[in-house]
Amino acid sequence: MITLVIYDITDDELRNKVASFLRMKGLKRVQKSAFLGDLSHSERVNMEAGVRRLIKDSKANVQVYPLTPACYSQRSVIGVEMSYDEEEFLV
């Protein structure tokens, strides 16, 4: 299932850790605080458990949305493609 993960994490270091973890799980950055990718049910469960472990009691909010192919095909992108290459090196 195509899965969108969005996060709001106050601490810079933790935010980078979560981004790095999501990338490691095969998700692709689509915004500064949003990752998207195709995950099986067990991959999703595993990813969520990892995120939960990482954030523990931190001031963080992570939301995971499964998207059907129909939903995904109806998404709109307005504006410019942002580049996140620099941040990749910081993580």
The residues that touch its own copies, with contacts defined as CB under 8 A, are: 4, 6-8, 30-34, 48, 51-52, 55, 57-68, 70-72, 74-82
**Least distance from C-beta 89 to its own copies, angstroms?**
19
d(CA 12, CA 2): 27
Residue 58 tokens read as: 């931190």
Tell me which residue has tokens 């469960």: 45
Cβ proximity to its own copies: between 41 and 89 the closer is: 41
**Least distance from C-beta 18 to its own copies, angstroms?**
10
Q: Which amino acid is at 31?
A: Q
**Least distance from C-beta 10 to its own copies, angstroms?**
8
Cβ proximity to its own copies: between 26 and 68 the closer is: 68
Burial (0-12, 13-18, 19+ Cβ within 10 Å), 86 = exposed
* Cβ atoms of residues 37 and 27 within 8 Å: yes
Cβ proximity to its own copies: between 16 and 67 the closer is: 67
